Amino acid sequence: MKGPLSTPAPPAPQDEPGPAGGSGRVSIQTAFLDPVLLELPWHLPLEQWPDDVLVAYPRGLSRHVVRFARAGEKVVAIKETVPHYARHEYATLRRLQRMGAPSVVPDSVVTDRYTPEGEALPAALITDHLSFSLPYRAIFSAGPSAQTVILLVDALASLIVQMHLSGFYWGDVSLSNTLFRRDAGAFAAYLVDAETGEIHPALSRGQREYDIELARTNVAGEIMDLLAGAAEEGHELEDPIDPFEVSDRLVASYTSLWSALMDEESFSMDERWRVVERVRRLNELGFDVEEASMDTVDGRIRLRPQVVEPGHHTRRLQRLTGLRTHENQARRLLTDIDQLGRALYPGLPDDLVAQLWMREVFSPIMEAVTPPMRRKLEPAEIVHEVLEHRWFMSERAGKDVPTLAAVEDYVASQLAQRPDEREIF
């Protein structure tokens, strides 16, 4: 899915057309052996697929034809493209998945598509729909917000850093090529288009700088386009938004985070505590140090992280509770667990406090939210918002408000008004 200022990739050779009259055959390369894919109307161009197959989810900008369709019990995104690029993107996304990178899950590549008359059709790349995810334009359906724009570009900057740490050269960074999930008042970003991407053992400074400069250009163009659309629809902005300031912030956020993760530090032998302090700072940023180099020269210590892994808080929360969340959600829920331990169970091991928190806080909140309401946000996001709501209610009341009372008020006053973000139609 291409951003508005992206440079199209050079054309690749198409497969040879099929025999006149068509053979009715189709080839599917997949990691998930599900014959339901064979039932989809591959003999038709994607633009002509019937409504009873398609799902009307919001789509980002794309130079390709992209549609969402039901394949059995799940929803998939289908993009028509050249076979060469479909296979390349599928293989790249598969590698990113094995590396644990935040990206959409590739399902299949469909080739050898022909109409009943024997006319060759484009190949198709199939990826799983990312539940609770939003293209950036859907987030601004009611008009742009300066604060939300800042949250999105910060999430995109963090995603670019994570991809570069993995050795992934994107080659087409943009908001349009990204999906966003809510993450405890912020956003978590996921790569959704890897057509121009390449995976290397490590990226050169030039590769990283090209990616980030392309991001600067694309994001500025996307924000300008967003503002133009808002003006046409009569949306009034509460705060001014400068597209170039937004794109500059993206670059600054990326540079600051990359520097915090990768810069070498030098300090004297009697400042060895700074090794532990560096690790603590990285943990606060949500990263673990998997490997580092540390040597002494002329009585000074040089420390340089070599491999840093995102997801410090996410892994800790999953280890303690089994919950799978985004990083900011994990940070927020871990804070509540720690507060519970200090207030009611001082001295109890973290894992036992976490299990008590699940029984006394998490489960009662989710049980009090009816199943239709649970489709609006991810469970961890609902719990985070309930805890925030309870805090504000307690502040107004001047006393602690019971959790179940906060849930009831939150559902009625806030959650009921929210769109269904698990599957947005």
Q: Quote the pLDDT of residue 61.
A: 64
Helix, strand or coil, per DSSP, at residue 120: strand
In the numeric block, which tokens belong to residue 64? 């390709």
For residue 11, pLDDT over 70 is answered with: no
Range in 10-14, 237-241, 319-323 with the lowest mean pLDDT = 10-14
The proportion of the chain whose per-residue pLDDT surpasses 70, expressed as a percent, equals 92
Neighbours of 36 (CB within 10 A): 11
Domains and CATH numbers, the chain: 27-128 (3.30.200), 134-262 (1.10.510.10), 265-310 (no CATH), 326-417 (no CATH)
Report CA-CA distances (Å) from 325 to 93, 329, 405.
Answer: 21, 6, 25
Where in 234-387 does DSSP place strands (E)?
A: 265-268, 287-297, 300-310
Question: What are the backbone angles phi and psi of residue 49, rounded to the nearest 5°?
Answer: -65, 145
Range in 57-61, 77-81, 171-175 with the lowest mean pLDDT = 57-61
Output the CA torsion 368→371→372→378 (10° steps).
Answer: 90
The single residue listed with the structure tokens 């943990």 is 283
Q: Quote the pLDDT of residue 422.
A: 67
pLDDT in tens, 220-256: 999 999 999 888 888 778 788 999 999 999 999 999 9
pLDDT in tens, 88-141: 999 999 999 999 999 999 999 999 999 999 999 999 999 999 989 999 988 887
Burial class (CB in 10 A: 0-12, 13-18, 19+), 200: exposed
Q: Quote the pLDDT of residue 99.
A: 93
pTM for the full predicted model: 0.86
Beta bridge partners of 180: 134, 189
User: Is the Cα dihedral 2, 5, 9, 11 positive or negative?
Assistant: positive
pLDDT in tens, 35-76: 888 889 999 999 999 999 998 876 656 678 999 999 888 899
